[in-house]
Amino acid sequence: MQMLLHLDRIPRGYNFLAGLFTWILLASFLIIPGTFTSFKDSDAFKNIQDDDNKSNAVAKAILDSAANVGLLWLSGAFCMIGGTGCLILWARWRKNYVWLVNKIFL
């Protein structure tokens, strides 16, 4: 019962931070699949590999390059920021598991 009464005394800033860090963590998981997509599986670029034409040199360079390496770094940074923020809030409010369940885990 004390934890439920203590929920009203937790500052709004912590509720805001909990929402912010969980959304940042979610954003990192939404960005990750975009980092591993490639053009090599698309039908538009399959015939480029068979051509030896010099006009397709740019298309071959695109096919041979890594896809979205910058997004991988962005996703990793979001994952670290969101995870670290959630862990800090978890350590701060570990004695009020009602707040943790409602704000961090759900």
**Given this model, what pLDDT does residue 106 score?**
82
Concatenated DSSP letters of the chain: -HHHHHGGGS-HHHHHHHHHHHHHHHHHHHHHHHHS--GGGSGGGTTTTT---GGGHHHHHHHHSPS-HHHHHHHHHHHHHHHHHHHHHHHHTTT-HHHHIIIII-
Q: How far is CA 29 from the centre of its chain?
A: 4
What are the average pLDDT values for consecutive 10-residue runs of the chain, which has 106 residues?
78 92 92 66 58 59 61 89 95 88 86
**Given this model, what pLDDT does residue 80 score?**
96
pTM for this predicted structure:
0.66
**Given this model, what pLDDT does residue 32 score?**
77
Looking up tokens 């920021």 gives 81
